[in-house]
Chains A and B, each alone.
Chain A
Amino acid sequence: MRVAFNAAFEDGVRNINNASAALAEAQRQLSSGRRIDSPSDDPLGTMTAISEHASLSRVDAYSSAAGDAYSRLALADTIMSDIVTQLTAAQSSALSARGSNITTAQRQAVANEILAIRDAIFSDVNTQLQGAYLFSGSNVLAAPYTRVGQGFSGYQGDATAARIDVSNGRDVAATFDGQAILQGSDPQHILDALTDLAASILAADPVGTQNGVDAITRAFDRATLAQSRIGNDLRSLDDVRMQLVSVRQTAVSRLSKVEDADLAEASARLAQSETAYRAALSAVANTLKLSLLDFLK
C-alpha cells in the first residue's frame, strides 16, 4: 500500500482534532457541571429536562400557594377559636342571668357583656387579609356585616367560598361563608340574636333569654363545625406540604440525572482523553518526522 504524504498528514491532523475535541468535551463537562451542551447532544434528555423544569416550577408554585393558604387558614382558625370562645362566654353569661334573684344592675352588666361579645364577634367576622374579607364568601370586597344604626345589616357576602389549589387535585378554602357560620338556617344572624338577648336579659324576659341561649347554642355548633373544617384543611395542607417537598426532591434528582455531568466519570474521561491527546500528538510528531530523505547522503 502506498502511503501518500498528504494522506498521512491529514489522517494525523484528524486524529489530533478528534482527540482534542474529546478532551475539550470532558473539560467542558467538568468545568460547567452540565452534561448537555446543545440539545442535539441528547434530544430526549432535553425534552425530559424541559418537562422536569416545568414540574419543579409547578411544585414551587404549589408550595407558595400552600404557604399562602396555610397563613389564611391559620388566621381563620384563630378567628373561629375566638368566636367559639366568645359564644361560650355569651352562653355562660346568659345562663347566669336567668332566675328571679338577679338584680337589675347584674342584668345590666350581663347585657353589656353580651353586647361586648356581639361586637367582638362582629369584629372577628369582618377580619380582612390583604384588603379582602375572609368571611364574605367570594364577595371579598364587601364586609360580611356592617353596622346599620344601632343594629346590623344582613349578610353582604355570598355563599360561594373561594378555594385555592395546593397540589394537583387538592384544594383548600381561601374564604368562608360568614352567613353559614353566623346565621345558618336561623331567621336572624347571631349579632341580632345577641342584641335581642341583651334586651331580653334587661327586660327579664325568660322566653326571649331562652331563645337567645338557643340561638347561641346553634351558632356555637355552626362555628365549631366551621372550625373543624378549617382544621381538616390545615391538616390536609400539612400532608400536601410534606408531599410537595418529596415531589420536589424527586424532580430535582431526575433533572440532575438528565442535566448534570457525572463528575467522577467526567474526571476519568478527562484523564483518558488527555492521554489519548498526548498519544495522538506524539504519534503524528514522530511518524511525520521520519523520511527516507534522512538517509540519503
Chain B
Amino acid sequence: MSDLFRMLRSAAHSLETQRYALDVTGQNIANVNTQGYVRRTVDFAEIPPQDPWSAGGGVDIAAVQAARAPLIEGRLRYEQVLSAHDSAIADHLEVILGGLGQPGASLDAALTRFYTTYGALASSPTSATARQQVLVEAQALATTFSDISTQLQNARGAADREIRNTLGEINALAAELAELNAGITSSAPANVEALRDRQAVVLSSLSALADIDVIHRADGALDVAIGNGRALVVGDRHYDLTASGTPPLGFATILTNGADVTTDITSEMTGGRIGALLQIRDTTVPSYQQQLDQLAHGIVTDINTLTTSGFDLDGNAGLALFNPLAGVPGAAAGITVNAAVAGNVRRVVAAGTPASGNNDVARAIAALQDSNVSGGSARPVDAWGALVSRIATDARGAKDAAAVHDDVVQQLRTLRDQISGVSIDEEAAMLMKFQRSYEANARFFQVADRALEQLMNLVS
C-alpha cells in the first residue's frame, strides 16, 4: 500500500513539475518583447528508485537554464563600440554640413560676389556705387567667414555638452552594474537569471557609450574597466567619471576618481560614443577650423597686400581693406572690414597709381579668384570646395563604416536571438507538450488513486 501512496506522491510531484514547466513557458511568452530577456528552459531530472520494488520517484526540476550566448554577446559589445563611434561622428558631421549651405549659396557665393564687385569696380573705378558695393560684399564675406567659424565652434560646444551628458549616463550605468553585482552575488539562484538579463542590457548600453573591458567573475558578477584599464565597476563598487572644465574654452576633461587618486583619462577614451565626441571636439572640427582659418588668412593677406600697394580715389596711399589678422588661428572668426575704409567709399582702393581712373588694383583683386590663395595650393573657391568635400567625405566614410558595423551588429543580434530569443511557435509547441505531459501525469495520478481505492475496498 505504501508503494501506492508513493506513486500518488510521485504523480503529484510530477504534476507540479509539469506545471512549473508550463509556468516557465508562460514566462517566456510573457517576455517575448522584453529587452534583454533570455529564453528559459527547464532541465528535468529523473528521481531514481529508492528500493527494488520502485521504478523511480518521478521527475524533478534539475535547473532552469537561461540560453545565454556569451561569445556572441562579447562580440556584439565590440561591434557596438565601433558602430556607436562611427554613427556619432556621422551624425555630428551631417549637422556641420547642414550648416555649411548648398553649393552656390554659401561661402563660395560670398567669395564670388566679393571678387565680382572688384571686377565691376575695375570697369568704373570712380563710381561711388561700385565702391559701396565692394564694401557691402567685403562685409558680407567677413560675416560669412565668421558665421561658418561660429558654426564649427558651436559643433565643438555641442560635442562637449554631449560628452558631459554621456559621462552622466556612464556613471548611472556603472552604478546600476555595481548594484546588479551585489544582487547577483547575494540573491537566491531563482532570481539571478533576471538580474543577469538586466546586466547584459546595461553592459550593452555601456559598450555603446565607451570602449570597456569586462571581466567575468566566478560568482556571476562583472568587473568593468574603461580607458587603459581604469576601474569603473569592481564588484559592488563603482568609480564615477567626472568632467572638469579646462581653459581656455572650458571644455571638459574626463577624470576618473580611483580609490585615492584622480587621473585625467581624456586621451584614453577613444572608442564608443564618447570617443567619437572627443574626436569631433578635439581633433576633427579643429582641423576643419584650421583649414578655414588658413583660407581666411590667405584671402585677407592677398587682398590687403594689393590694397596697401595702391591708391584710393583721392590719390592717397591705400589702406588695408580688412583689419590685419594676428595670425592663422582664429582668422575666420576675426575678419573685420577696416573702419577707415568702411566709413568712406573714397578710401576703397582700386588704383595702382594716384590717378583716379586707374583700375590696376581692382583688376588684380578680381583676378585673385583665379590664382592660388597665399599659403595654399588652390583658388579661393576651390579651397572652400576642398574643405566642404573633406567634411563630406569624412561624414560619408563614417556613415558607410557605421552601416557596415550596423549590419554586423544586426547579424550578431540575429545569431544571439537564434540562441537566446523567444520563439512564439516554439513556446506554443512547449505549451502543448507540457499540457499533454500534465494531462498524462494527471491520468497516472487518477490510475494510482483508483488502484488505491480498489485496494481500500478490498480491505474494508
A50 x B384 contact (CB < 8 A):
yes
Bound-complex Cα distance A7 to B120 (A): 66
Residue numbers in A under 8 Å from B395 (CB-CB): 38-40
B369 in the interface, Cβ–Cβ < 8 Å?
A: yes
Convert A257-297 into 0s and 1s, putting 1 for each residue whose CB lies closer than 8 angstroms to a CB of B.
Answer: 00100000000000000000000000000000001110010
Q: A54-B108, A58-B369 are in contact. Are A47 and B357 (CB under 8 A)?
A: no
Which residue, of B358, B379, B410, has the highest number of chain A Cβ atoms within 10 A?
A: B358
A54 x B357 contact (CB < 8 A):
no
Closest to B33 in A: A6
B42 in the interface, Cβ–Cβ < 8 Å?
A: no
Bound-complex Cα distance A38 to B388 (A): 11
Bound-complex Cα distance A51 to B384 (A): 9
A51 x B126 contact (CB < 8 A):
no
Bound-complex Cα distance A290 to B194 (A): 30
Contact partner of A7 (CB less than 8 A), chosen from B100, B124, B381, B417, is: B417
Closest to A56 in B: B104
Convert B355-385 into 0s and 1s, putting 1 for each residue whose CB lies closer than 8 angstroms to a CB of A.
Answer: 1111100010011011000000001011011
Minimum Cβ distance to chain A for residue B34 (Å): 9
Minimum Cβ distance to chain B for residue A44 (Å): 7
Contact partner of B381 (CB less than 8 A), chosen from A51, A139, A142, A174, is: A51
Q: Kindly identify, within residues 62 to 114 of chain B, every residue whose CB is under 8 Å from any CB belonging to chain A.
A: 90, 93-94, 97-98, 100, 103-104, 108-109, 111-113
Bound-complex Cα distance A164 to B426 (A): 85
B318 in the interface, Cβ–Cβ < 8 Å?
A: no
A47 x B414 contact (CB < 8 A):
no
Convert B370-407 into 0s and 1s, putting 1 for each residue whose CB lies closer than 8 angstroms to a CB of A.
Answer: 10000000010110111011111101100100000000
Q: A39-B100, A53-B103 are in contact. Are A130 and B385 (CB under 8 A)?
A: no
> Interface with A: B157-165, B285-293, B427-435, which one?
B427-435
A6 x B417 contact (CB < 8 A):
yes
Closest to B432 in A: A296
Interface residues on B, range: 35 or more
Residue numbers in A under 8 Å from B113 (CB-CB): 57
B24 in the interface, Cβ–Cβ < 8 Å?
A: no
Minimum Cβ distance to chain B for residue A126 (Å): 14
A38 x B119 contact (CB < 8 A):
no
A53 x B108 contact (CB < 8 A):
yes
A46 x B388 contact (CB < 8 A):
yes
Minimum Cβ distance to chain A for residue B424 (Å): 5
B355 x A165 contact (CB < 8 A):
no
Q: A5-B32, A162-B125 are in contact. Are A292 and B120 (CB under 8 A)?
A: no
B351 in the interface, Cβ–Cβ < 8 Å?
A: yes
Residue numbers in B under 8 Å from A68 (CB-CB): 123-124
Q: A39-B100, A164-B123 are in contact. Are A4 and B423 (CB under 8 A)?
A: yes
Residue numbers in B under 8 Å from A137 (CB-CB): 355, 357
* A interface SS class: helix
Q: A40-B396, A43-B392 are in contact. Are A136 and B357 (CB under 8 A)?
A: yes
A158 x B385 contact (CB < 8 A):
no
Minimum Cβ distance to chain A for residue B53 (Å): 40
A3 in the interface, Cβ–Cβ < 8 Å?
A: yes
Q: Kindly identify, within residues 2 to 40 of chain B, every residue whose CB is under 8 Å from any CB belonging to chain A.
A: 32-33, 39
> 6 nearest interchain CB pairs?
A4-B421, A140-B357, A53-B104, A138-B355, A7-B417, A43-B392
What residues make up the interface of B, taking CB atoms closer than 8 Å to A? 32-33, 39, 90, 93-94, 97-98, 100, 103-104, 108-109, 111-113, 115-116, 119-120, 122-127, 351, 353, 355-359, 363, 366-367, 369-370, 379, 381-382, 384-386, 388-393, 395-396, 399, 410, 413-414, 417-426, 428-429, 431-432
28 A-B pairs whose Cβ atoms sit less than 8 Å apart in the complex: A2-B419, A4-B417, A4-B420, A5-B32, A6-B33, A39-B389, A41-B396, A44-B389, A46-B385, A46-B392, A47-B382, A50-B104, A54-B111, A61-B116, A68-B124, A130-B124, A137-B357, A138-B357, A139-B355, A140-B126, A140-B355, A141-B126, A141-B356, A162-B358, A164-B363, A259-B103, A292-B428, A293-B428
Task: Using A65-B120, A163-B363, A259-B103 as known contacts, list a sample of 6 further A-B pairs with CB atoms less than 8 Å apart, ordered by residue number in A.
Answer: A14-B410, A39-B97, A65-B123, A138-B357, A171-B363, A292-B424
